[in-house]
């Protein structure tokens, strides 16, 4: 196991490149930069740079070209889907950075992020003891069924420590009837009050579309995970895991 001293030494030598998807909606990039600032506050000795796969600047390739040397690309992504498995590795290869740059794991379905999502629901004045509540977890979704299956694990875990009646998952990239049917399923399962918990890191066009659905259906919708400290903490753990693997190698 890597000691704290080794981790500090490795962090000084290795740059963390926080890499987000990117969006035409400026709120998404602003959230990524807010996570980056939080990382720098939490670990001041760490050189943190923010990059984007598309839409925003600087691009990942630009950051890699501008800052040579060892680095860890830490994806600010929830699912291990296309951008983590294809897009980022392709960009690393395109600038010849695969020898000096490691790619950390995505954030995934980390318990800390599930706790943030639960907190976002309670911020709607939803009591954890309210047995009438059903929660619809809405995620972006992927063409990869394995990634979607992992995301679907969030809903039942969200119920831990509560008396909420039920929870289920729907994907915003599927046709809207999927959201309608998911709400009906929750009500058939005993929910008297349905709320939407967005499994998104930041606001954007797709979350806005879900919010419009919620508004039209008369449902309350929680805020995205955002730049919460536990989001940044999860990024740092993925970074430490990647640097530890490099030291062990």
The CA distance from 235 to 238, in Å, is 5
Q: Beta strands of 78-229 (E only): which ranges? A: 101-103, 133-139, 166-171, 193-198, 220-221
The CA distance from 16 to 31, in Å, is 17
Enumerate domains of the chain plus CATH numbers: 15-108+228-248 (3.40.50.1400), 111-221 (3.40.50.1400)
Task: Give one word for 79, left, alpha or beta, with left for phi > 0 and alpha for psi -120 to 50.
Answer: beta
Strand pairing report for 48-52 and 101-103: unpaired
Beta bridge partners, 166, equal 134
Asked whether 49 and 76 are in contact (CB, 8 A), the reply is no
pTM of the model: 0.92
The CA distance from 168 to 155, in Å, is 5
pLDDT of residue 185: 96
Per-residue pLDDT of the chain (249 residues; tens, 9 = 90+): 444 444 444 444 589 999 999 999 999 999 999 999 999 999 999 999 999 999 999 999 999 999 999 999 999 999 999 999 999 999 999 999 999 999 999 999 999 999 999 999 999 999 999 999 999 999 999 999 999 999 999 999 999 999 999 999 999 987 777 999 999 999 999 999 999 999 999 999 999 999 999 999 999 999 999 999 999 999 999 999 999 987 776
Task: State how far the alpha carbon of 114 is from the alpha carbons of 25, 96, 107, in Å.
Answer: 25, 36, 11
């Amino acid at each position: 196991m890597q000691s704290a001293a080794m981790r500090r030494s490795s962090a000084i030598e290795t740059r963390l490149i926080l890499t987000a998807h990117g969006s035409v909606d400026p709120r998404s990039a602003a959230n990524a930069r807010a996570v980056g600032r939080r990382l720098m506050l939490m670990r001041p000795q760490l050189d943190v740079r923010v990059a984007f796969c598309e839409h925003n600047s600087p691009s990942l390739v630009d950051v890699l070209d501008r800052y040579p040397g060892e680095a860890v690309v830490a994806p600010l992504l929830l699912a291990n889907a296309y951008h983590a498995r294809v897009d980022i590795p392709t960009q690393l290869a395109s600038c010849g950075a695969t020898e000096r740059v490691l790619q950390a794991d995505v954030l995934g379905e980390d318990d800390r992020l599930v706790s943030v999502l639960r907190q976002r629901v309670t911020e709607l004045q939803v009591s954890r003891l309210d047995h009438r509540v059903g929660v619809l977890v809405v995620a972006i979704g992927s063409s990869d069924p394995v990634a979607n299956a992992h995301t679907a694990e969030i809903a039942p875990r969200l119920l831990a420590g509560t008396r909420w009646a039920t929870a289920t998952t729907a994907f915003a990239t599927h046709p809207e009837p999927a959201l309608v049917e998911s709400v009906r399923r929750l009500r058939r399962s005993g929910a008297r009050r349905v709320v939407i918990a967005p499994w998104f890191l930041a606001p954007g066009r797709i979350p806005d579309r879900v919010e419009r659905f919620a508004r039209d259906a008369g449902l309350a919708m929680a805020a995205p995970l955002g730049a919460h400290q536990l989001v940044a903490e999860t990024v740092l753990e993925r970074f430490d895991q990647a640097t530890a693997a490099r030291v062990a190698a």
